[in-house]
A and B are shown apart, each in its own frame.
Chain A
Amino acid sequence: MPNARFRDLLAAEWMKLWSLRSTPWAFAVGAVAALGVNLNATLADYRNYPHYSDGIKELFVPIWAMRDAFTLGGAMVFVLATGSIGALMIVGEYGTGQIRTTFAAVPARRSVVAAKTLVLAAVMLVYGVLVAGVSFAATQAVLDGRGVGMAFGDEGVARAVAASALLAPVCALAGFGFGALLRHTATTIVSLTGALLLLPALMDERNRWGATFLHVLPQGAWQRLTQVGVSPVPVDYPWTAGGAWTVYATWTAGAVAVAFAAVHRRDV
């Protein structure tokens, strides 16, 4: 059948994503908010730097400089924005009934899910690279004014930028998986926020279970990957960067697998 080309499904999903007015707004607001939080923290450090004690100044590069590039607050905003966009890519169809129109046009549901996840992952990868790259460049440019900015070539920087960039597709696909499973907009967004943002905030890293739980969540993995230098405070339950990358990969694969299974099997 010459008309069943997968790239047409990719093109259609691309068209569907950008033909919603909310899409560019969601991307813009997410980027501005995340960058705003990071820049705000950086400007505070820039202003206060002359008054910092020698102990802090000694550790400022790389620990504090890196934390300014990628603050936890900025990451949380970014997680919420990308996760929601990912969720809406599928919940938007279930919630409106559009999904029936979609599947009546393309009975091969797995192909639809594959096209959606690929378009989402690609767009989010570009978005993540842009936001993480701009955040790093802008914050370090400000800190350069005090002579404490870092360069991309410095140790641990490439990994931190990559981990922050990849946070976008990982969380977007997690949102997509939640959406495919739950199919209701409000339920999905609440569950997603609970799992990705609330849960890590409730975990105590000094407790074995708390640490384990935090480590298997995207936010915990991201914190591990953006960590540079030697921690100024003792870490009770240390873990490797490799482990953190595995958490990223597992969430991505798991979310996509859940989406494929849930969408293929159930009535719409």
Chain B
Amino acid sequence: MIEVHELTKRYGRRRRGPSRLAGPAARLAVDRLTFSVRPGRVTGFLGPNGAGKSTTLRLILGLGEPTSGTATVGGRRFRELPRGLRDVGALLDAHDVHGGRTAEAHLAALARTNGIPRRRVGEVLEEVGLAGAAERRIGGYSLGMKQRLGIAAALLGDPPVLLFDEPVNGLDPEGVLWARGLFRRLAAEGRTVFVSSHLMGEMEHTADDLVVIGRGRLIAAESGAAFAARGTRRSVTVRTVDPAASRGLADALEAEGATVRREAGASEAEGATVRAREELLRVTGTDAERVGLLAHRLGVPLAELTARASSLEEAFMELTADSVEYR
């Protein structure tokens, strides 16, 4: 169980008085975040780049001191623990290793600090698929291999709580599948699994719960299903080949209170030599049946009529649109 309460981290100096002379502006990396992460589930930690995910994870691990608020793991501040690996396993940044050591030496020293038996080193290397590279120096590892090594280090102490910051970056598709399976298995074993990502699609098949932040503020903390329901309503995609008729259909739909977004496009029909001018309408606030009836009544030929359920991805994009910092 991870509990974060009113957690705030400010970098730089606070402005005082006339601001022009007061040096660089302070930046709120994390702004009064409150959420909890439950055991037995995979919780996705989402937000655009620069939203404060990594900072939050560092504060949970006591690597940074919060400006205010608290973060606790199992009811205790992490920095109060004498040793950490049996309580929390973490992969923050796969590059946070000394490249001069072999994977085996790195993990052996890490295990020794926490009084973890040496045989665990071989076990976790086997588990992440690095047994064959155990005696190679980490400096020569690919990013994917370093991610696996970081995951191995997190598993070393068999901890009840695991944190992973963007763990699948650099993993090949097979590796991504493996990592997802691992997270699900760790959660099924009753552990607390907190996985960050800036890609919603990443979480869609892995996470039970979501914590979504943007510009350091909490946007949502709920189940994946509840989050998706908050996002875009159901929409209907209509493709026509006649721009004039399409305009008529759009007007009629809007007259009925639906919202229509027009996207002009062109595509080449298979085998055809003529390029058909196409129009794509994205309609919300009505349903496919209603659109079909209306098109029939107006005599508009349709090339496509698709009802789309909103996805987590869309909900994520919509809710974080205002808080994207770097485009």
What is A's interface to B at a CB cutoff of 8 Å?
A: 1-5, 8-9, 11-13, 15-16, 19-22, 92-93, 96-108, 111, 267-268
Whether B113 contacts A8 by the Cβ 8 Å rule is yes
* Also in contact, A103 and B63, with CB within 8 A (given A3-B83, A96-B97): yes
* Also in contact, A96 and B113, with CB within 8 A (given A3-B86, A105-B85): no
Which one of B13-21, B38-46, B102-110, B226-234 is at the A interface?
B102-110
Whether B84 contacts A1 by the Cβ 8 Å rule is no
Residues in A whose Cβ lies below 8 Å from that of B62: 103, 107
Contact of B96 among A9, A92, A96 (CB under 8 A): A96
5 additional contacts (CB under 8 A) given A107-B83, A268-B64: A93-B98, A96-B97, A98-B98, A101-B96, A103-B61
Chain B facing A: main interface SS? loop
Q: How far apart are A11's CB and chain B's nearest CB, in angstroms? A: 5
What is B's interface to A at a CB cutoff of 8 Å?
A: 58, 61-65, 78-86, 88, 90, 92-93, 95-102, 105-106, 108-110, 112-116, 153
Contact of A267 among B65, B90, B92, B105 (CB under 8 A): B65
Give the docked Cα–Cα distance between A106 and B58 (Å). Answer: 14
Interface centre among A1, A97, A101 (most CB of B within 10 A): A101
* Also in contact, A107 and B81, with CB within 8 A (given A19-B105, A97-B93): yes
A265 to B, closest residue via Cβ: B65
Whether B84 contacts A107 by the Cβ 8 Å rule is yes
Whether A15 contacts B98 by the Cβ 8 Å rule is no
Give the docked Cα–Cα distance between A16 and B105 (Å). Answer: 8
Interface centre among A13, A21, A98 (most CB of B within 10 A): A98
Interface centre among A2, A11, A16 (most CB of B within 10 A): A16
* Also in contact, A106 and B84, with CB within 8 A (given A12-B109, A12-B113, A267-B65): yes
Give the docked Cα–Cα distance between A94 and B164 (Å). Answer: 21
Give the docked Cα–Cα distance between A101 and B97 (Å). Answer: 7
Q: How far apart are A94's CB and chain B's nearest CB, in angstroms? A: 11
Give the docked Cα–Cα distance between A20 and B102 (Å). Answer: 9
Q: How far apart are B61's CB and chain A's nearest CB, in angstroms? A: 5
Q: List 17 A-B contacts (CB under 8 A).
A: A2-B115, A3-B114, A4-B82, A12-B112, A15-B109, A19-B101, A21-B100, A22-B100, A96-B97, A98-B96, A98-B98, A103-B62, A104-B92, A106-B83, A107-B82, A107-B84, A108-B83
Whether A100 contacts B85 by the Cβ 8 Å rule is no
Give the docked Cα–Cα distance between A105 and B97 (Å). Answer: 13
Contact of B64 among A3, A102, A105, A267 (CB under 8 A): A267
